[in-house]
Amino acid sequence: MKNLDNFDDSVITESKDILEQLRDIVLQLKAVPNNHIDVSNLDNIEQDLQNILPQLQFALLNAQEEKNWQQVNKLREAVRECKDTLNSVRAAIIRATIIGINPSNIAEMQKILQEIKSNSQTQSQVEYIVYVLRFMRKLFM
């Protein structure tokens, strides 16, 4: 049985790839004109989250096969957060609303972008993925 000390490099790579994709989403959000997210932005975000979800599910499957239950629990939470965030984005698309981003959320996005760069340990990467997804879901509620 593998433990956190001798994680497979693929797990680290998967987490880094997912964090990079989340970073790209946050950059998109941060770059919206007049701090207003419109339906076309939401469509892009929905597509990006749809691409992230299977990656999280695959990482979860790998952790289950390795019987790494601590990682399984964290990845289950990440999968759940991704699904919830996707549902929030889809609801916003259906409402066809423009979502305003307040200054505190812009500051939070800047913090996220800086922390993604410095985040290097797999265990904290999965926790950070959950954190970013929760933040994004909060924007769309």
pLDDT in tens, 67-126: 999 989 999 999 999 999 999 999 888 886 666 777 787 888 888 877 776 765 555 788
Residue 13 domain flag: yes
**CATH assignment of the domain containing 26:** 1.20.120
Whether 106 is in a domain gets the answer yes
Task: Tell me the C-alpha distance between 47 and 67, whole Å.
Answer: 31
| pLDDT on residue 61 | 94
pLDDT for the residue numbered 79: 95
1, part of any domain: no
Tokens 């994004």 — which residue?
136
Is position 2 within any domain?
no
3 domain-assigned: no
Q: Measured in whole angstroms, how far is the alpha carbon of residue 31 from the centre of its chain?
A: 18
120 falls within a domain: yes
What is the span of the domain harbouring residue 36?
A: 8-139
* Domain-embedded: residue 43: yes
Banded model confidence at residue 10, pLDDT cuts 50, 70, 90 = low
**Across the strands, what pairs with 9?**
none
In a domain, 86, yes or no: yes
Domain count, the chain: 1
